[in-house]
Structure 1
């Protein structure tokens, strides 16, 4: 059974937009370079940000692969990050001791495209680009399809092509536009995902202008709780919704928001005041019934979490491409192996069996 890194990223170069259809050139993003002065306060920006994407007349800080590669101290090359050097990427995966990476977009985690025609054009360009880049990996690089949720019927029609060209899941953010993930507008995408046996991959990020206004009120520091909270919303809304009854085969993964919050979220969402062991039984029942899989993280109190969630619905990824600590991205399996407070069976399940149960690779 394959070892799957369920959360890896590519850093999109400007050439991703060369995959726009000729009729969609009017939507091509441009790059704004800041020569001097303080950083522009917008998403993905920081004190060292020098370049910005201009996408549908809105600014976003541009990920800098040079800075990420430098921060990795030689472990990750620019070409591996941008998917221009697949050999280097696969070599990193060998060091990781993983067979397959699931590649998520970096750009589309937080952008909000107002015009539905522009959203469809740009998501299609990205999907063409990442499909072509991953095609030379002999099946080791799979990718998350980026849907145009302002165009649910059109994007549902694109999903079979995506599945046939290496897509392993469908990317959602915890809030899409002004809607939570239980909204009926998303039913065509959920239906097609269930038909094609593709999971919904709820990654931290959001597409909500109102939430962005609140979140960016203080842009002086990265607030992890704010960045993760859309996933909490998505989990609780889906838990209380009819989505699982409508699409009983559909699976959901929740990525990069940890797992320490899950048992309290179940208790709060279901309006119950249970104590262990009844709360533990409820959490495990809901995860199983709703086909929910949660990424846990190396720093978490895994023995306590496992008591509540059980061992069948936890998965682990590296966040490759967005390295905060190289040990957590390249050497995450080695770090996991050193944990003396969890047994070897769980260490295998969280990177093998459970990941395969979600992605069906």
Structure 2
């Protein structure tokens, strides 16, 4: 089954934190009820702060599947959806969780070992993106090595990390290690900046908070020529659609020319940058403007938001706007290239 869901999810459970040991156990997140006592929602209590647990749950998926309590159930559902491989991204880590490096490290280490155990149960069909304790770069590099050795095909990053742009030199050791390990940087719709997260706390949806910051991250990486500094690095942008690409290309082109440079139409291919589209995107126009070798697609499996489309792979494969060759590129060839599969 030659299809790859480039962006699927797992929902963390108590099992996620079973891998904490020793002194780390005191940082284990706890599930608590609604502060108002209504019992309508569940929350994670993480380092003294409540984070909604029950808000973005794809109830059109089996609970045992979305929570990875039963891997065969997940694989069976993938078969029903016509999906050969899923790349698994986190849920809780889409937001900033703690200002303390030691807590972040404990959370990341436990999550990554949970995913490694899941991968061992289905190595051919389930690959994953590892979460990084980015407040400690040396620990980040160690986690990246563990992840590569245990089935990860990507390193999860958010559109903003702390108060730094993705092009900040602080991240250069990670990018260097990622290209050495031949593992992809997967920039997912998410926000790792407590400052920005709190700024948008009254935004009823996550458009500015989670998506537009990733577009800014894309712009910064291209503008600051990070792909040239790390010529083997692959970067993916997930769950922010691809409709914005022509706009970003036009803006970057003008800024390059102001510096006496040109940005080629095929810069995505040249820079090894991939973007996940949605079936509602004007895909023919996007590929006309920027080529067809760097567009992938994800279903957002296990979630229930504006980007979620459980049948995304099948729907795109049958999209009458696309040639069979283009559809195959998006659901298979390009995703293989993105993740080095």
TM-score, normalization: structure 2? 0.92
User: Do 1:11 and 1:63's aligned partners in 2 also have CA atoms closer than 8 Å?
Assistant: no
Following TM superposition, by how much is the alpha carbon of 1:341 offset from its aligned partner in structure 2, in angstroms?
1.4
**Alignment pair present for 1:335 and 2:318:** no
Give the 5 Å matches for 1:199-214.
Answer: 199-214=184-199
- Residue 284 of structure 1 aligns to a residue whose secondary structure is coil
User: What whole-Å deviation, never above 9, does each CA across 1:253-292 have from its counterpart, x for those lacking one?
Assistant: 0000011101211222343599xxxxxx946332122111
**Alignment pair present for 1:216 and 2:168:** no
**Alignment pair present for 1:63 and 2:54:** yes
User: What whole-Å deviation, never above 9, does each CA across 1:131-153 have from its counterpart, x for those lacking one?
Assistant: 11221014211110101110111
**Alignment pair present for 1:111 and 2:102:** no
Partner of 2:330: 350
TM-score, normalization: structure 1? 0.87
Distance change (3 Å), C-alpha of 1:114 and 1:285: same
Partner of 2:214: 231
Partner of 1:5: 5
Q: Could you list the runs of 5+ residues in structure 1 that have no partner in the other structure? A: 39-47, 275-280
Paired residue total? 337
User: Do 1:260 and 1:300's aligned partners in 2 also have CA atoms closer than 8 Å?
Assistant: yes
Q: Could you list the runs of 5+ residues in structure 2 that have no partner in the other structure? A: none
Following TM superposition, by how much is the alpha carbon of 1:109 offset from its aligned partner in structure 2, in angstroms?
1.0
Following TM superposition, by how much is the alpha carbon of 1:225 offset from its aligned partner in structure 2, in angstroms?
4.3
**Alignment pair present for 1:123 and 2:108:** yes
Partner of 1:27: 27
**Alignment pair present for 1:171 and 2:156:** yes
Q: Which moved more, 1:29-38 or 1:123-132?
A: 29-38
Partner of 1:83: 68
- Residue 271 of structure 1 aligns to a residue whose secondary structure is helix
| CA distance in 1: counterparts of 2:307 and 2:290, whole angstroms | 28
**Alignment pair present for 1:307 and 2:292:** no
Following TM superposition, by how much is the alpha carbon of 1:95 offset from its aligned partner in structure 2, in angstroms?
1.5
| CA distance in 1: counterparts of 2:338 and 2:176, whole angstroms | 17
User: What whole-Å deviation, never above 9, does each CA across 1:201-228 have from its counterpart, x for those lacking one?
Assistant: 000001111211221134xx32434431
Following TM superposition, by how much is the alpha carbon of 1:49 offset from its aligned partner in structure 2, in angstroms?
5.4
**Alignment pair present for 1:17 and 2:12:** no
Partner of 1:45: none
Query: RMSD over aligned Cα, in angstroms?
Result: 2.2
